Amino acid sequence: MRIAIASGKGGTGKTTAAVALARVMGSCVLVDCDVEAPNAHLFLNPEVQNTQDAYVMIPEVDDGKCTGCGECSRVCQFNALAVLGKSVLVFNELCHGCGGCVLACEPKAITEGGRLIGTMQWGKAGDLDFYDAKLRIGEPMSPPLIKALKHQAELSEAENTILDCPPGTTCPMVEAVGGADYCILVTEPTPFGLHDLNMAYQTVQELGIPAGVILNRAGMGDDCIQNYCKANGIPILLEIPHSREIAEGYAAGKDILSSMPSLEDGFKKVINTISEGLNNG
């Protein structure tokens, strides 16, 4: 079972929920896919056992073989190559590493090179297999690193996986959520929370992934989230109360179950509800 934890905005409590769900699940894989700002390790203190650099393919042009035909530039959908006379300029930051230019080059003047995009690490946190990665400073695209991290995590022998996804509804979130059996959308009862929940829900609908909601900081706002979920038939799996106790624990580096143990049964129920729904679906 593969459960993605996502939201339309940052700071709603995705990592809080992901860490709690992983803890109640026991032996599983927790993958922190927020490679631009990973923070699950702050609550789990994993013992890192391995690190590995991640690379993305970029074209390398042999000027001696290049005829200046421009076919590589015409094929590239991302405008990552420009042909000036018989010289080919490569804009690494625009390249998506698809390899189309390599296939299109008849003189075989283009070969695949590699560009460092970040570093992955993995290890153990109690019974959990823990994976995360850090995007290289200045790197504009995180999806290739997220893809590599998820592929590495698939080598784990654990049956269940929790994916702590990056915020938003753009390419990084789509890459992280892709392939999940279920997506939990974490939100809060504010106008911004409702707006971004709507965007996130539409995104997972497009991906064909069933979804439910965890409402964080319940009680601080109005009933806008409950009304939205009821109108759209979205199950609210759990409501986490707006609590100073939880906030103080978070600031001290404690996970939510350490700050408020009474929530453990609620998170277990979330796992059971999702599991039963997938088995019956």
**pTM score > 0.75 for this model?**
yes
Taking residues 171-192, report their average pLDDT.
Answer: 97
**Residue 280: pLDDT over 90:** no
pLDDT of residue 121: 98
What pLDDT, on a 0 to 100 scale, did the predictor assign at position 85?
Answer: 86
Please tell me the distance from the alpha carbon of residue 213 to that of residue 231, in angstroms, as a whole number.
Answer: 13
Residue 281 confidence (pLDDT) above 80? no
What CATH number is given for 2-54+117-280 in this structure?
Answer: 3.40.50.300
Mean pLDDT of the 222-226 span:
94
Question: Closest Cα partner for 197 from 205, 187, 207?
Answer: 187
Span 58-112, pLDDT tens digits: 999 999 999 999 999 999 999 999 999 889 999 999 999 999 999 999 999 999 9
Average pLDDT, integer, range 18-25: 97
Distance from C-alpha of 108 to C-alpha of 242, rounded to nearest angstrom: 61
Q: Give Cβ neighbours of residue 233 (< 8 Å, ≥ 6 apart).
A: none
Domain ranges, ordered by start, for the chain: 2-54+117-280, 56-116
What is the per-residue pLDDT for 221?
A: 80
Give the CB-side neighbour count of residue 182, counting CA atoms within 13 A: 25
Q: Is 80 exceeded by the pLDDT of residue 10?
A: yes
pLDDT at 247: 92
Give the pLDDT band (50/70/90) at residue 26: confident
56-116: in CATH 3.90.226.10? no
CA distance 234 to 73: 45
Whether the CB-CB separation of 123 and 30 falls below 8 Å is answered with no
pLDDT digits (tens, 9 = 90+) for 123-181: 999 999 999 999 999 999 999 999 999 999 999 999 999 999 999 999 999 999 999 99
